[in-house]
A and B are shown apart, each in its own frame.
Chain A
Amino acid sequence: MVAQNIAFGVIAAVMAVGAVRVVTTRNVFHAALWLVLVLAGAAAQYILLAAEFVAVTQILVYVGAVVVLFLFGTMLTRARIGGESELSSRHWSMGLLTALLLAGTLAGVLIGTFHAEKLPTPAGSTPTQVVSDSIFSTYLIPFWLLSIVLLAALVGAIVLARRD
């Protein structure tokens, strides 16, 4: 258990630094690369939480597809690669205040609710079969609806982005 705690601490620290850099860096490309770090860290946390299938999906969908979309979006909108000073609003202090208040409230509520409750030690990783059984029986209708959402998003994105 000690090893897992150390692993959690290291990955969480990396994710925290990455997340802060995503919202503060002055270069859109660097922000996308820091985002990769956060997303990969989240996948590692899923493995610590015995959710291997979610971790693999996270890598495939986020690091494999979403970040590539972001990089394409950045390139197509021709953000200057050398760095831009005007990426953040001038009223950043209000945003910081809001975020700090939100973080303080959430942390207070969480600590007050869960105190030092321990997670059960996972007995190996969750078999993918259990996850897929749940998706294709209990959550079959949401799964169908999600397929329609994806199709609609695909068609919508093509309709929006094509030139004519």
Chain B
Amino acid sequence: MLSIPFANLLTEPVGVAHYVTVGAILFICGALCMATKRNALGVLMGIELVLNGANLNFVAFGSRYLRDDANSLGLDGQLMALFVIVLAAAEAAVALAIALNFYNNHDSIDVDRADQLRG
């Protein structure tokens, strides 16, 4: 029989593995977005995707409905997700302010225009 990777996920009841798969896809999308976007705002969106991928992992690992064994992260996972949401918001605010400052000085937010400093 032909074995497709992750095919067993489709037949199993929803568990940690499903959430972690979605988290991994979010992470990869975010990493690709960071690597390929030339617009600073696009890069920041990629960073948000990466952070949310990690957050999804934390929530899934911490949920006692998905994994109720000794290895569960428990409330730690939920709390970390909450703190990360707050930190991500703070970081995004600072990053947008810096992007605006860059725009005021360069009339562009293309990261390739940031090339005065090199060597």
Q: Are A and B associated in one complex?
A: no
Q: Which A residues form the contact surface with B (CB < 8 A)? A: none
Q: Which B residues form the contact surface with A (CB < 8 A)? A: none
